[in-house]
């Protein structure tokens, strides 16, 4: 379900990028209200984790009061000119911050009267939240692999289970650049599974991935650091420690949560409690 977007842009996207960049660098001209535009240039007025951030964005639709569309985002460190780009399919901005027109169903964006948007990025202490990724921003920086170094977290708005947002995690190397594919953790479990229903326990260094299947059909996987694999790979590797599964007992008409410990790759029953 998740899509690879980091630094892997096909030829059509490259062509689109060049066209969009050209439109951003042209001399500013008065823009007619309600003029139809193919792209919007977004600039954040404040530095974000030391980076100046801009984006080329194509607003497409309105989802839950957010305007959503694909974007190419540039991160530039003004101190040492470090620059890298990432792409995202569901870049979202609060509809109150932008000016646009929709079709009769108020779903698809048909016109946009801004070619350049300047936004103030709202910083937040994400580690204080019980659930992961509770932010209105399209990206943020947070340590999610317990190495005391913040990763870049890209949010794919309303792209996951029950309309919650999913996330892509990118490690930054010592120079502040995105890591290459071999060194990154983007597609490693549990990082590839992170969404707004996930939880990160910084005290015990655990990550909980919650899968909602409906009434008495939910599952939670609890991950911990795999020390041996981490030492071998040179990057944080995690393994499943527990699995909590909802089971319905038709004879009793009750739902129970069963907990299994993972030992040598096998599920070993540990406990059961009634879901109330």
Within a domain: residue 166? yes
pLDDT at 38: 77
pLDDT of 90 reads: 96
**pLDDT class of 37 with cuts at 50, 70, 90:** low
Q: Where does residue 6 rank: exposed (0-12), middle (13-18), buried (19+ CB within 10 A)?
A: buried
**Alpha-carbon distance 68 to 140, whole Å?**
17
- Looking at the predicted structure, is the pLDDT value of residue 110 above 90? no
User: Is residue 7's pLDDT more than 50?
Assistant: no
Q: Is residue 128 part of a domain?
A: yes
CA nearest 31: which of 111, 118, 119, 120? 111
Structure tokens given for 17:
């990028």
Q: What is the mean pLDDT of the chain?
A: 86
Q: What is the mean pLDDT of residues 109-122?
A: 89
Segment 70-82 mean pLDDT? 93
Residue 2 in domain: no
Q: By mean pLDDT, which of 23-37, 146-160, 209-223 is the weakest?
A: 23-37
Is the model more confident about 81 or about 238?
238
- Residue 261 CB contacts under 8 Å (≥ 6 apart), including other chains: 241, 242, 267, 268, 270
Rounded to an integer, the average pLDDT of 43-55 is 97
pLDDT, mean of residues 263-270: 94
Residue 200 pLDDT: 94
Kind and range of the H or E element at 15? helix 11-25
Q: What is the pLDDT of residue 231?
A: 94
User: Given this model, what pLDDT does residue 134 score?
Assistant: 86
* Cβ count near 248 (within 10 Å): 13
Residues 195 and 223 reside in one and the same domain: no
Q: Which of residues 199, 228, 248 is at a domain's end?
A: 199
36 band by pLDDT with thresholds 50, 70 and 90: low
The answer, as to whether pTM is greater than 0.85, is no
- pLDDT tens track for 192-216: 999 999 999 999 999 999 999 988 9
Is residue 88 in a domain? yes
**Rounded average pLDDT over 32-37:** 47
Q: Containing domain of residue 143, as a range?
A: 11-24+34-199
Residues 237 and 190 grouped into a single domain: no
Number of domains in the chain: 2
In this structure, is residue 250 part of a structural domain? yes
Query: pLDDT for 152-190, tens place per residue?
Result: 999 999 999 999 999 999 999 988 999 887 778 999 999
Summarize pLDDT for 221-250 with one digit per residue, the tens.
999 999 999 999 988 999 999 999 999 999
Co-location of 118 and 241 in the same domain: no
Least confident of 62-71, 128-137, 139-148, 247-256: 128-137
DSSP E strand boundaries for the chain: 40-44, 52-57, 61-63, 66-77, 82-94, 100-102, 109-112, 116-119, 139-142, 151-156, 166-170, 199-201, 206-211, 219-225, 238-249, 254-263, 266-274
Shared domain for 99 and 47, answered yes or no, is yes
Mean pLDDT along residues 31-52: 79
Q: Quick check: 22 pLDDT over 60? A: no
């Amino acid at each position: 379900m998740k899509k690879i977007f980091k630094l892997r842009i096909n030829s059509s996207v490259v062509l689109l990028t060049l066209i969009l960049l050209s439109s951003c660098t042209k001399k500013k001209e008065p823009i007619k209200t309600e003029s139809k535009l193919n792209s919007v240039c977004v600039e954040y007025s404040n530095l974000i984790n030391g980076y100046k951030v801009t984006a080329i964005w194509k607003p497409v639709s309105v989802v839950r009061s957010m305007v959503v569309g694909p974007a190419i985002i540039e991160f530039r460190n003004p101190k040492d000119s470090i620059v890298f780009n990432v792409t995202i399919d569901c870049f979202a901005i609060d509809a109150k911050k932008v000016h646009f027109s929709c079709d009769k169903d108020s779903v698809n964006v048909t016109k946009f009267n801004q070619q350049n948007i300047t936004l103030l990025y709202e910083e937040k202490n994400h580690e204080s939240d019980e659930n992961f990724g509770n932010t209105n921003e399209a990206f943020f920086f947070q340590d999610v692999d317990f190495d005391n170094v913040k990763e870049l977290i890209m949010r794919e708005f309303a792209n996951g289970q029950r309309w919650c947002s999913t996330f892509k995690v990118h490690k930054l190397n010592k120079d502040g650049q995105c890591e290459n594919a071999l060194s990154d953790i983007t597609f490693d479990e549990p990082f590839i599974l992170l969404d707004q229903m996930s939880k990160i326990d910084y005290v015990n260094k655990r990550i909980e991935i919650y899968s909602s299947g409906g009434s008495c059909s939910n599952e939670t996987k609890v991950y911990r650091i795999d020390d041996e694999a981490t030492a071998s790979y040179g990057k944080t590797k995690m393994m499943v420690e527990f699995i909590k599964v909802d089971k319905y007992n038709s004879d009793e008409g009750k739902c129970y949560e069963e907990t299994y410990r993972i030992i040598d790759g096998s599920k070993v029953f540990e406990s059961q409690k009634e879901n109330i």
